[in-house]
């Protein structure tokens, strides 16, 4: 897709995730970059990614990136920690447009703001097993001690809607137990669903621990990237359809309802596509 | 695949599920039909099925059945409640070999053994939403009252290994609450993972409620079917490779470990294949 630099400015940003979790990233982009257009893809037919292998996640991510490119996106945000951990470095050299994930921005801010260099990370089995946060944090803070903990029940609890439920508190207490015994001063919420559990996590950890939300940091990082490359949408382009468009690989209605419960805008439709083809 | 009737006897049975849950069905087939050969497929790249749509589950099931047919199976067992609910009736006319699911056998025995006609069913969102158990039970017992309850956290709890954990008991108590208030005398464990929670469920419901395990009933039903069609393996055929073969679409090592924790035999390998192609 050949575009002049002037036109590229007005192209949308592609954002994808295994399902609804990445909407927390889309939400931050909407807040911090309100003039940008977004094409969101949620892979609801194959969700979750967190328990699957590097090879499978890379294959799925490649299919999705191909789809987003057919929509003429100017940049891609991998709004999924597992896909950022497993697929990003493999796929970046295959692309001619910028692509960023959620791991690097979260890891960087944690490394820079931790005072005692003891940082906790919670995420899916895939993200924690990949050690990606440890490696990335240490590239900024070589002496940092990074303690990872997979929390596989958090995603189904969020999807069940039990955000502040006593059962969720009890499960969170068990998962976070090792952090309470150590003296971490920073915890990265390394899965895009987890910011929806923020107040439960805060209640257990108290004010002593700084909670890092990679969704927020990723939107900031995207803003910097667009500024550097002179790609910020100034809102002066022609109106071309909806500002925010949503595509999913399954269960469009359920996706739309979840999206409308967490986004600052009302979405009218999520379009169903077959991503395998 | 053209086979004489004599050779067809010695062909394997194809069994599939979204992942590891169907192993509870394979286990019952191994116990009740110890001379049969089994080709098992677990769709671990796209697990779970329980939250996905009818169209998607039908497409996935068709791909898997096609794969099993390339292995020359003589019959197919859909060892997944969601796939049985969504895909079985659509796919049966496309096949020239017998295919059975787990819903019909479980529903039939519940209808026949319930004394007061009040039957509970627990399962995934897909299975419960489809009303398949209600419809099938009423085809045997027209006046039956069927109460369904989706339990979406049970599968991740089983996969976390928290089978008898106090947290699991608490979640089960909440899900089963409506059954405690009604006076059901029968509960169908309508998801292949749930028999692994049997003692937790029993502890909450007490002895008053009969727990129906569709895995057990399905193996019985398969035995009847093979007898009727003169397809029972008498063990007199040539030795042709391993009696039990396992294929998965992702994470073969993890699958193998789970399988070895619940099967009566030790499996040496689960082979990875790409099912989408």
Q: What is the mean pLDDT of each run of 10 residues along chain A (277 residues)?
A: 72 97 97 97 96 96 98 97 97 97 98 97 95 97 97 94 95 95 95 96 96 98 97 87 95 94 94 91
How far is the alpha carbon of A64 from chain B, nearest alpha carbon, in Å? 15
Cβ <8 Å between B156 and A160: no
Assess whether B119 and B195 both reside in one domain: yes
Domain extent for B54:
5-101+217-272
Q: Same structural domain for residues A88 and A109?
A: no
User: Cα distance from B157 to chain A (closest Cα, Å)?
Assistant: 7
Q: A17: part of which helix (H) or strand (E)?
A: strand A13-17
Contacts of A153 in chain B (CB under 8 A): 153, 156-157, 160
- Cβ-nearest to A167 among B45, B167, B276: B167
Task: Please tell me the predicted confidence (pLDDT) of residue B171.
Answer: 98
Q: What is the Cα–Cα distance from A217 to A106, expressed in whole angstroms?
A: 6
What is the pLDDT, as a whole number, of residue A237?
Answer: 86
Inside any domain, residue B62: yes
pLDDT of residue B5: 65
Instruction: State the DSSP code for A196.
Output: G
Q: Which CATH number is B207's domain given?
A: 3.40.50.1860
Please state, in angstroms and rounded to a whole number, the distance separating the CA atoms of residues B104 and B110. Answer: 10
| Whole-angstrom distance, CA of residue B234 vs CA of residue B218 | 20
Residue to test with chain A: of B128, B167, B248, B257, most A Cβ within 10 A? B167
Helix (H, G, I), strand (E, B) or coil at A248: strand
Q: What is the dihedral of CA A181, A186, A192, A193, to 10 degrees?
A: 40
Chain B: residue whose CA lies nearest to A172 = B167
* B chain contacts of residue A47, beta-carbon cutoff 8 Å: 51
Taking CB atoms and an 8 Å limit, are B53 and A251 in contact across chains?
Answer: yes
Cα–Cα distances in Å, from B212 out to B24, B103, B105, B190, B192?
13, 11, 10, 9, 12
Q: What is the CA radius of gyration of chain B?
A: 18
* Owner of token pair 């801010």: A109
CA distance B270 to A109: 41
Identify the residue among A150, A155, A156, A276 best suited for mutation to test binding to B, counting B beta carbons within 10 A and taking the highest.
A156
Q: Does pTM top 0.90 for this prediction?
A: yes
The H-or-E segment that residue A241 falls in is: none
Place of tokens 């890092």: A212
Domain final residue pick, A167, A197, A214: A214
DSSP 8-state secondary structure symbol assigned to residue A4: -
How far is it, in rounded angstroms, from Cα B3 to Cα B8?
6
Does A277 reside within a domain? no
In a domain, B37, yes or no: yes
Does B277 fall in a domain? no
Question: Residues B85, B116: one domain?
Answer: no
Nearest to B52 among A51, A53, A251 (CB): A251
If asked whether residues B266 and B131 sit together in one domain, one would say no
Looking at the partner chain, which of A51, A52, A171 has a beta carbon nearest the beta carbon of B167? Answer: A171
Select from B214, B235, B264 the last residue of a domain: B214
Residues of B in contact with A129 (CB under 8 A): none
Residue B197, C-beta contacts closer than 8 angstroms, at least 6 positions apart: B154, B157, B158, B163, B168, B172, B189
Q: Which residues contact B30 (CB under 8 A, 6 or more apart)?
A: B36, B38, B244, B263, B264, B265
> Both A133 and A43 in a single domain?
no
Pair A149, A223 in one domain: no
With CB atoms and an 8 Å threshold, state whether B52 touches A276. no
Assess if residue A255 is contained within a domain.
Answer: yes
Cβ proximity of A102 and A214 under 8 Å: yes
Q: Please report residues of A whose CB lies closer than 8 A to that of B251.
A: 51-53, 56
**Counted domains in chain B:** 2
Considering the domain architecture, whether residues B76 and B157 belong to the same structural domain is answered as no
Which chain A residue's Cα is nearest to B156? A153
Q: What burial class does residue A233 get, using C-beta atoms within 10 Å of its C-beta: 0-12 exposed, 13-18 middle, 19+ buried?
A: buried
Same domain flag for B119 and B133: yes
B191 is an active site residue: yes
User: What is the gyration radius of the CA atoms in chain A, in angstroms?
Assistant: 18
Distance spanning both ends of chain B, measured CA to CA: 20
Please answer yes or no on whether B46 and A45 come within 8 Å at the CB atom: yes
Spatial CB neighbours of B36, under 8 Å, sequence gap ≥ 6: B12, B13, B29, B30, B226, B232, B233
H helix runs in chain A, sequence order: 5-8, 23-32, 54-70, 81-86, 88-91, 103-113, 125-130, 132-140, 154-160, 166-181, 198-205, 214-228, 252-262
Q: Choose the closest CB to B251 out of A47, A52, A167.
A: A52
Q: How many CB pairs under 8 A join A and B?
A: 58
pLDDT tens string, chain B, 277 residues long: the values are 445 667 899 999 999 999 999 999 999 999 999 999 999 999 999 999 999 999 999 999 999 999 999 999 999 999 999 999 999 999 999 999 999 999 999 999 999 999 999 999 999 999 999 999 999 999 999 999 999 999 999 999 998 889 999 999 999 999 999 898 899 999 999 999 999 999 999 999 999 999 999 999 999 999 999 999 999 999 988 877 899 999 999 999 999 999 999 999 999 999 999 998 7
Q: In three state form, how does the secondary structure of chain B look?
A: CCCCHHHHHCCCEEEEECCCCCHHHHHHHHHHCCCCCEEEEECCCCCCCCCCCHHHHHHHHHHHHHHHHHCCCCEEEECCHHHHHHCHHHHHHHCCCCEEECHHHHHHHHHHHCCCCEEEEEECHHHHHHCHHHHHHHHHCCCCEEEEEECCCHHHHHHHCCCCCHHHHHHHHHHHHHHHHCCCCEEEECCCCHHHHHHHHHHHHCCCCEEECHHHHHHHHHHHHHHHCCCCCCCCCCCCCCCEEEEECCCHHHHHHHHHHHCCCCCCCEEECCCCC
Report the residue of chain B nearest A275, measured CA to CA. B276
Cα A103 to Cα A133: distance, rounded to the nearest angstrom? 7
pLDDT at B241 (0 to 100): 82
How many CA atoms lie less than 13 Å away from B133 in the CB half-sphere? 35
| A222 shares a domain with A210 | no
Query: Which pLDDT value is given to residue A2?
Result: 47
Same domain, A131 and A117: yes
Looking up tokens 């803003």, which residue turns up?
A: A223
Cβ-Cβ contacts under 8 Å, B249 against chain A:
56
Residue B165 lies in a domain: yes
The minimum CA-CA distance between A277 and chain B, rounded to whole Å, is: 9
Over the range A154-189, which residues count as b (16 or more CB within 10 Å of their CB) and which as e?
Answer: bbbbbbbebeeeebbbebbeebbeebeeeebbbbbb
Q: Which residues of A are catalytic?
A: 80, 191
If asked whether residues B147 and B15 sit together in one domain, one would say no
* Burial grade of B93 (CB within 10 A; 0-12, 13-18, 19 or more): exposed
A116 exposure class (CB count in 10 Å sphere: 0-12, 13-18, 19+)? exposed
- Residue B33 and residue B69 in one domain: yes
Task: Select the residue of A45, A56, A157 nearest B56 (Cβ to Cβ).
Answer: A45
Those residues of chain B whose CB sits closer than 8 Å to some CB in chain A are 44-47, 51-53, 55-56, 152-153, 155-157, 159-160, 167, 170-171, 174, 249-251, 254, 276
User: Which residue is listed with tokens 């769709």?
Assistant: B43
- Measured between alpha carbons, how far is A202 from A204 in angstroms, rounded to an integer? 5
Q: Is residue A67 part of a domain?
A: yes
Dihedral sign of CA atoms A203, A204, A208, A212 in order: negative
Residue of chain B nearest A150, judged by CA positions: B160
């Amino acid at each position: 897709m050949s575009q002049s630099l002037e036109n590229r400015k007005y192209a949308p940003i592609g954002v994808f995730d295994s399902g609804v979790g990445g909407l927390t990233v889309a939400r931050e982009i909407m807040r911090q970059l309100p003039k940008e257009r977004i094409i969101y893809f949620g892979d609801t037919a194959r969700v979750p990614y967190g328990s699957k292998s590097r090879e499978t996640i890379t294959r799925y991510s490649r299919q999705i990136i191909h789809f987003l490119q057919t929509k003429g996106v100017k940049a891609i945000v991998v709004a999924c920690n597992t896909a950022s951990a497993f697929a990003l470095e493999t796929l970046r050299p295959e692309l001619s447009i910028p692509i960023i994930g959620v791991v690097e921005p979260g890891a960087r801010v944690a490394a820079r703001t931790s005072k005692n260099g003891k940082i906790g990370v919670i995420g899916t089995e895939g993200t924690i097993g990949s050690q990606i946060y440890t490696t990335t944090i240490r590239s900024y803070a070589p002496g940092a001690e990074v303690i990872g903990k997979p929390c596989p029940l958090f995603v189904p609890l969020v999807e069940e809607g039990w955000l502040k439920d006593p059962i969720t508190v009890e499960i969170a207490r068990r998962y976070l137990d090792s952090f309470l015994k150590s003296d971490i001063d920073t915890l990265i919420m390394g899965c895009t669903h987890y910011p929806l559990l923020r107040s439960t996590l805060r209640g257990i950890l108290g004010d002593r621990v700084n909670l890092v939300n990679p969704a927020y940091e990723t939107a900031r990082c995207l803003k910097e990237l667009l500024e550097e490359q002179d790609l910020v949408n100034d809102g002066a382009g022609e109106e071309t359809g909806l500002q925010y468009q949503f595509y999913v690989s399954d269960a469009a209605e359920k996706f739309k309802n979840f999206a409308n419960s967490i986004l600052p805008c009302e979405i009218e439709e999520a379009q169903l596509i077959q991503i395998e083809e």
